[in-house]
A and B are shown apart, each in its own frame.
Chain A
Amino acid sequence: MKRVLAHVAIIAVGIGMIYPLLWMVVSSVKPNDEIFSNPGLPSAWTLDNYVVGWDAVGFPFLLFLGNSALVAVISVVGNLFSCTLAAYAFARLEFRFKKLLFAAMLATLMLPFQVILVPQYILFNNLGMVDTFLPLLIPKFLAVDTFFTFLMVQFIRGLPRTLDDAAAIDGCGPFTVFTRILLPLMRPALVVTAAFTFIWTWNDFLSPLLYLNSRESYTVPLALNAFLDSEGASQWGPMFAMSCLSLLPVFLIFLFAQRHLVNGIATSGLK
């Protein structure tokens, strides 16, 4: 009986949480006027909203999806490259000031992004990089997303050091140990890093808002914002249609990587 009650409670809250999402998806295939009057299923199904929304911001939405995908994929490559290197150094190598540098890295976990916002903007502006994707991408190759470096340091520390030692005795240098021994074992941490980097970059609004000015370089969140600005509240159907499209990649990653994601945040939080 208690079990049944628990199930009922969990399902009820779950439906409450998912209902807004489902409603948005259903609304995107509803006639526009029903969005304001009908909280359930539509009287007729239509793809008009997708057709209207696709060209609503002056360029086909595919351009924005493409921009976002480009930025997100390169960011994933950047983070995988830079964070693994830094994590390997912190977890396995000995060097001067290691403790101090590690503490500095941990401190940046708590650093609000706003503190470096203005000078970073001035820096990239002086380098002539405003309105290119470079300000969004360069930081990813410099291991600025401390969270992932930290996650991987913890992961590598959990791998037995005897593996490294055995490889070293067989004549492997640190680089070979890293690429041949550790990297293949780090797959779960790499998946988590790749998935979260993709999702966070895909959703990111503030950085593109600062650095991308011309419409053809907009990422999806900027395009949605421009759509909202130009149409106000009159075009909810097409807006929901494009919003659904914008959430689709995140949802797909969630479907395929959810086990890794859930385990990733659970362990990084605890150990």
Chain B
Amino acid sequence: MFLLPWLIGMIGITLGPMIASLLLSFTDYNFLRAPEWVGIDNYARIFADDPRFLTSLGVTFTYVVVSVPLQLAFALGIAVLLNQGLRGLAFYRSVYYLPSLLGTSVAIAILWRQIFGADGLFNQLLGLAGFEDLPNWIATPELALGTLITLNVWTFGSPMVIFLAGLRQVPSELYEAAAVDGAGRWTRFARITIPMISPVIFFNLILQMIGAFQTFTQAYIVSGGSGGPVDSTLFYTLYLYQKAFRDFDMGYASAMAWILLLIIALFTWLAFATSNRWVHYGED
């Protein structure tokens, strides 16, 4: 009885639509006429004859592979700095955490669009530092994705908070013992800190990766919904949105959604499969 709302939700707006989406992916459906069964035609078109799909896949992979490790590296680095028992920890932690709460908003995406525009803040600062002939970062195909990667790295606060909680669980005797044995700062970091918090690294990796694959708002706002310039910020989800709600090619979009699900599942599986090599669970 307590479970009723959840059960309705699970069946009605999660499981049901999931199955519907799988079925739709084998049909041609434009929202006006009834869906028409076309077998694997959508999937065939996606892989054989849609360069934009491959572009969107490339953009998204680049984004995930570059921004997630960078974001986690920042998060861990700052967390280690903060974890030395500095005064004002709570204050610093809050300041670093704030961007995570704001980062997915339209307002911040608008701000980013200005910062990296031709006469935006970034170029103003570079100009003050003496640089000349600065590009319009947002409008340059080779650079536009970089601005979005910066935005994702900027929100490193939430994995950082999780790292901090993990670092606190590492017993300080380990460090003292290692120091007695003559281990330097880096050795202690590489041999004690990293293995001891590897489950936390793993958790953050999965969480941020799944999130990064689904980036939508930032890409939409910064490119005005187009994924431009020249499709250089055509994120997977943005392309899926265009297919479903601009071209009304619902079957095609459903097929894309299922491919995304499989990709995320594959990456998650890969992370789990390799985890026994690098994730160390203590005997708690």
Which positions in A face B, CB cutoff 8 Å? 3, 6-7, 9-10, 13-14, 17-18, 20-21, 23-24, 35-39, 81-82, 85-86, 88-90, 93, 95, 101, 104-105, 108, 110-123, 138-139, 141-144, 149, 174, 178, 199, 202-203, 205-206, 209-210, 220-221, 224-225, 228-229, 233, 236, 239-240, 243-244, 246-247, 250-251, 254, 258-259, 261-262, 265-267, 269-270
Is the pair A86, B6 in contact by a Cβ cutoff of 8 Å? yes
For the complex, what is the distance from the CA of A184 to the CA of B108, rounded to whole Å? 37
Residue of B6, B98, B221, B244 touching A142 (CB-CB under 8 A): B6
Inter-subunit contact B94/A10 (CB<8 Å): no
Residues B92 and A14 in contact, CB atoms below 8 Å apart: yes
Q: Bound state CA distance, A261 and B96, in angstroms? A: 13
B106 and A224 contact, CB distance less than 8 A: yes
Q: Is B14 on the interface with A (CB-CB < 8 A)?
A: yes
- Number of contact residues on B: which range applies? 35 or more
- B6 contacts A149, CB within 8 Å? yes
B2 touches A246 (CB 8 A): no
Contact of B18 among A89, A116, A261 (CB under 8 A): A116
11 A-B pairs within 8 Å (CB atoms) are namely A35-B114, A82-B9, A110-B265, A116-B14, A116-B18, A120-B17, A142-B9, A203-B102, A203-B217, A209-B220, A247-B108
Q: Which B residues are closer than 8 A to A by beta carbons?
A: 2-10, 12-18, 20-21, 24, 31, 78, 81-82, 84, 86, 90, 92-99, 101-102, 104-108, 110-111, 113-115, 117, 119, 121, 124-125, 128, 154, 158, 161-162, 164-166, 169, 200, 203-204, 207, 210, 213-214, 216-217, 220-221, 224, 237, 240-241, 244-245, 250, 253-254, 256-258, 260-261, 264-265, 268
Contact A142 B5 (CB under 8 A): yes
Known contacts A23-B121, A118-B257: does B165 contact A270 (CB below 8 Å)? Answer: yes
A204–B128 CA distance with the chains assembled, in angstroms: 36
| Chain B minimum-CB-distance residue to A242 | B107
Name B25's closest neighbour in chain A (CB-CB).
Answer: A118
Given contacts A104-B10, A262-B94, whether A115 and B21 have CB atoms under 8 Å apart is: yes
In the complex, chain A residues whose CB is within 8 Å of the CB of B82 = 10
16 more contacts with CB within 8 A, not counting A101-B7, A243-B108, A270-B162, are A6-B84, A14-B95, A17-B95, A21-B99, A114-B256, A115-B17, A115-B21, A116-B14, A143-B9, A202-B105, A206-B241, A221-B105, A224-B110, A228-B224, A243-B106, A269-B204
B2 and A254 contacting across the interface, CB-CB below 8 Å? no
* Most chain B CB within a 10 A radius of its CB, from A23, A119, A220, A229: A119
Specify which chain B residues have a CB less than 8 angstroms from the CB of A233 in the assembled complex. Answer: 114, 117
Q: How far is the CA of A83 from the CA of B168 in the complex (A)?
A: 30
Give bound CA distance, A269 to B165, whole Å: 9
B220: A residues at CB distance < 8 A: 205, 209, 225
- Measured between alpha carbons, how far is A163 from B221 in the docked complex, in Å? 51
A86 partner residues in chain B, CB cutoff 8 A: 2-3, 5-6
CA distance A117 to B20 in the complex (A): 11
Give the nearest-CB partner of A258 in chain B: B94
CB distance from B36 to the nearest CB of A (A): 15
- CA A258 – CA B257 in complex, angstroms? 35
**Are A108 and B102 in contact, CB atoms less than 8 angstroms apart?**
no
- Interchain residue pairs A-B with the least CB separation, the first 4: A142-B9, A243-B107, A266-B165, A119-B17
Q: Which of A89, A114, A224 has the most CB of B within 10 A?
A: A114
B5 touches A143 (CB 8 A): yes
Bound together, the chains give a CA A82 to CA B122 distance in angstroms of 45
Task: Name the one of B14, B110, B217, B245 contacting A144, with C-beta atoms under 8 angstroms.
Answer: B14
A254-B98, A262-B97 known; A116-B13 Cβ under 8 A = yes
Determine if B12 and A142 form an interchain contact, defined as CB atoms under 8 angstroms apart.
yes
Q: With a CB–CB cut-off of 8 A, which chain A residues contact B224?
A: 228-229
Out of A7, A113, A209, A240, name the residue touching B214 (CB < 8 Å): A113
| Contacts A236-B114, A243-B107, A266-B164; A10 near B13 (Cβ below 8 A) | no
What residue of chain B has the Cβ atom nearest to residue A255's Cβ? B94
Q: Report Cα–Cα, A141/B6, bound state, in Å.
A: 8
Is there contact, CB below 8 Å, between A118 and B14?
Answer: no
Tell me if A114 and B257 are in contact (CB < 8 A): yes
